[in-house]
Structure 1
């Protein structure tokens, strides 16, 4: 639960020729694969497997190479890692050990991509949360800003240098330890980018949609959220959300930093390539007024990264489900400033 919803982002594809993990911003054809849970016979609410389906009849990189077997690939949601080869992986500067799922899976994907790839599973391994993304670091930074000891992120007149200084002091303070405990549990990462949860609002999505001409649409799944909130007070109101309470059981999500967007928004899901219509230019359209984070000043902001608040000892985690009421229980007075570029700093 602290590393995200069950089964969320536990698998990854890896390009052998480019020697790197695959993200849709660079490997745009990844969108041609769709997934679905397979209901377990004994407990339909707890699936044991999922399927992957390829939506084309030919290998993406070799259109003349036809796919004769359109059968979806079935994969265990929690495969036995005993006997699987370990594979070192680094994602967004955060390394971990993963497991190579083996020839059957690798060959199925490779035949459809048209080049050699591996399917990796993270198992019980985790990646470190870096920079000022962890709740403890962002919390210290927020306190420093409110006390006037650091730059106010996003405030008029604050400089890039002052933002870096504030972030640095927060990171150093976290590494050295602090008596104050902050909400939000950092239990590491699976293959999610930089935090377990990503929250967006439908009001903001509607704003993106309105930037396109009639007849074109912006698929909300392109923003890759795992929590979508309806009924926000306004467009991009989530820029200032600090903490959410979800559902009658009071689950809390602590939002620490903004999500800076990339070329993945421009991908046409029907072709696996960057779109040729206005929808294929949505990143540029958002750049016109959404470059609002001095810590990611070349990218538009859309959504907030978050962490589940710690569950009190003796209690079980609160359930979150579609349709739950969402309350903003803490708002930030200014936008936060992304500080992932400090992920390599060290104390000696």
Structure 2
């Protein structure tokens, strides 16, 4: 198999930026899902904006201007965070000109690593896994609010991270017995319980469940074959980071336990990715797709409800964590890299329900 496509999503639930190569880190691809929109509800509460509930986010395109390797190294050493060394350009494709009332344009430039020294901090909860984020302020909030038609907060996660909970955080190398059973059911906040050499691999940005999502083009083609002739499933609706070509059979990835990309990059595939109505969205209109393309979720319901832990949701793709030990050097993947399955599971993994933090508090 080969790496055929690489995608980074700088702003959660918006359209991705395609890459020809990328560094890989224990926290995911650099700059992946570092930003997110939250809707301000009438009572002042904030609602995380995910594309299944806010399908108009598909109308926002992203393009990244990366800093050079030298600039990025200097930036990290000096802790200087400004837009001169990289930025995201967001383009709203739902209008041909400026906003009719606010007058804001259809493009917005956002620094990849904003200066957070004067930004307001607030708490974000995602999938029962909390973190602290920064409110990017009125310039960015008002731009998105204008195009969306309601008040939002544009959040940046900065140096903060989230824990992966449930068995998403459990080590594939954990031993048998009661201690590994307990460790598979609690957040990875207690040193030593998870039995994993690489504790940092359990730390997330605004990605849902894991730093990496891997899908097979062979399986995408299987979905396309369920659509009328001439229609093809857009792989970005599945929101993968890494797309692999050359798998002999569709959905064989259900049993993949580990991938080796090139010679040294190892990605442990811990769990299945279960799907929702987001795969029915029309990326051109930011609304549910009409016709057969709007029934993809229903089509997958027929034969892809294969995870016993989420029996009402179809599975497509695998969540992964970089297997990297302390002291390992920087790793890079690129389109065209050879990929082999270095571990095959005897059975499909089961996505356990994410548990409340009360269990952690009781044990701690």
Listed one character per residue, the Cα deviations across residues 283-307 of structure 1 (whole Å, up to 9, x for unaligned) are 0100100000011111000001010
Separation in 2, partners of 1:220, 1:77: 25
SS at match of 1:278: helix
Give the equivalent residue in structure 1 for 2:117. 82
Q: Counterparts in 2 of 1:1-348, with a 5 A limit?
A: 1-17=25-41, 19-38=46-65, 40=67, 48-57=86-95, 68-136=103-171, 138-140=172-174, 144=176, 170-171=184-185, 177-178=192-193, 180-181=195-196, 185-248=200-263, 250-313=264-327, 315-344=328-357, 345-346=359-360, 347-348=362-363
Distance 2:216 2:198 in 1: 22
Taking structure 2 as the reference length, the TM-score comes to: 0.80
Unaligned runs of 5+ in 2: 1-24, 74-84
Higher relative contact order (CA 8 A, sep 6+): 2
Does the 8 Å CA contact 1:130/1:340 hold for their aligned counterparts?
no
Deviates more, 1:32-41 or 1:302-311: 32-41
Change (3 A) 1:233 1:217: closer
1:341: Cα distance to partner? 3.3
In the TM superposition, residue 169 of structure 1 has moved relative to its aligned partner by 7.1
For 1:10 and 1:273, how far apart are their aligned partners in 2? 25
Q: Rate the CA distance shift 1:39–1:183 in 2: closer, same or farther, 3 A.
A: closer
CA separation in 2, counterparts of 1:300 and 1:294?
A: 11
Q: Classify 1:44/1:218 alpha carbon distance in 2 versus 1 (closer, same or farther; 3 Å).
A: farther
Cα-to-partner distance string for 1:185-236 (whole Å, 9 max, x where unaligned): 5341100001000000000100111111113221100101001111112101
- SS of the aligned residue for 2:332 comes to coil
Q: Deviations over 1:96-147 (max 9, x none)?
A: 11000000000000000011111100000011110000142x543xx65xxx
Post-superposition offset of 1:71: 4.1
Structure 2 SS opposite 1:340: coil
Equivalent-residue separation in structure 2 for 1:184 and 1:204 (angstroms): 32
Count the aligned residue pairs. Answer: 320
Larger deviation: 275-284 or 14-23? 14-23
**Structure 1 residue ranges without an equivalent (≥5):** 151-165
Deviations 1:45-98 (A, max 9, x none): 996111000001289xxxx95675434100000111100000211011111110
Per-residue CA deviation, residues 297-336 of structure 1 (Å, 9 max, x unaligned), is 11000001010012352x4122111111111000000000
Is the Cα contact below 8 Å between 1:135 and 1:185 reproduced in 2? no
3-state DSSP class of the match of 1:125?
coil
The answer to whether the Cα contact below 8 Å between 1:245 and 1:329 also exists between their aligned partners in 2 is: yes
- Mapped contact 2:275–2:314 kept (Cα < 8 A): yes
- Sort the Cα spacing of 1:87 and 1:184 in 2 relative to 1 into closer, same or farther, 3 A: closer
Q: Is the 8 A contact 2:104 2:143 kept in 1?
A: no
Worse-matched range after superposition: 12-21 or 68-77: 68-77
> Which whole-Å CA distance do the structure 1 matches of 2:57 and 2:183 have between them?
39
